[in-house]
Chain A
């Protein structure tokens, strides 16, 4: 069975600082991995996804994530935080043989201080 663990339910950074949101997964088969962002009172928006091509995945709004099989990790980074990045971020793994069912982590709330 697949599972996702996001380390840190809340991360706070200063504007302009590096953003690092941690995600570790568990999967018995090669996983497909996703990062979604959720702004208040909105649905989830895809930031990026890993589908077994390049291990470094670039997404929207300057975010990127690196798939590390040896560490079973898929951490999300952004070199310089903007105030508009404040939101909830979810890491998810796609369950194999289950029609793309997403299994989400608990989420990490990102705060950006001016």
Chain B
């Protein structure tokens, strides 16, 4: 069974440019998460989807970040415009359900460098 797929794996852009990350979760997983991982730190949740609905986006900086999960399968996270401080790894994860004990499966991440 394929795991969580993310692309691109690496992205280098100049500040003020837009950037988008794509995630395809494990087949059948209803819940999808986007996490931000700064260097030397643990991941922090940006947004959580249950099917098509964003049920927790309280940590998403909405002035520049946006996300969508059309048809409740794959998802795109966008930053426009990017800032130097956005350099980090963006992780996507999925789980079968949204329960407290459900295992989240992580993709390899997209490493963003903003110059």
Residues in A lying within 8 Å of B, measured CB to CB: 4, 9, 32, 36, 41-46, 49, 51-52, 90, 92, 94-96, 98-102, 104-107
Contacts and interface: CB of A to CB of B under 8 A. Distances in A.
11 contacts: A42-B108, A42-B109, A43-B106, A95-B100, A99-B50, A99-B98, A100-B101, A100-B102, A105-B42, A107-B40, A107-B42
A72 B104 CA distance: 23
B3 to A, nearest CB: 8
Contacts of B56: 98-99, 101
A42 to B, nearest CB: 6
B83 to A, nearest CB: 23
Interface size class, chain B: 20 to 34
Given A44-B106, A99-B50, A102-B45, 15 more contacts: A42-B108, A43-B4, A44-B91, A46-B103, A46-B104, A46-B105, A49-B103, A90-B42, A94-B100, A96-B100, A99-B31, A100-B98, A104-B42, A106-B40, A107-B41
A95 B9 CA distance: 29
A6 to B, nearest CB: 8
